[in-house]
Amino acid sequence: MTENQRIKIIRKFLGMTQVDFGASIGLTQAGYSDIERGKNNVSGKIKIMLKQVHQVNLAWLESGDGEMIDTFIPTKGWSPEKLADDQKQIENLKLEIDRLNAENKLYRDLLDSKLKMIATLEERFGKE
């Protein structure tokens, strides 16, 4: 099942029309309908709105894991801006991990090259 199919399930579970549900997450009926029909994907911004407005469990939306609606609703120190900032920080950390993995691969390749050079030199030294 796709995210687009799951978002329709959420709307029907909440008993809302496409017009009302779309408006609740900042979309027109046409824009929301495009998501339900699979013409457009569920963007990160829409996911944030689903989480904020309808307490949708994003793990369920993305993969079907867990419950459709989160039972934990943060209250103290929580705001839409904080959530957006946290999402941005998560994305930045993922980018940093990707960069570090690439750098790590370069160092491993360099190490392999040096080990081969040592083996070649040892063979030459041992033959003389």
The model's pTM = 0.55
CA angle, residues 80, 10, 12, in degrees to nearest 5: 130
- pLDDT for position 75: 57
Q: Mind listing the pLDDT tens digit for each residue in 70-86?
A: 876 555 666 778 778 88
Quick one: 32 exposed, middle or buried, by C-beta within 10 A (0-12, 13-18, 19+)? buried
* pLDDT over 60 (residue 128): no
CB 112: neighbour CB atoms within 10 A?
10
| Burial per residue of 81-95, b for 16 or more beta-carbon CB atoms within 10 angstroms, e otherwise | eeeeeeeeeeeeeee
Cα separation of 6 and 112, whole Å? Answer: 47
- pLDDT for position 83: 79
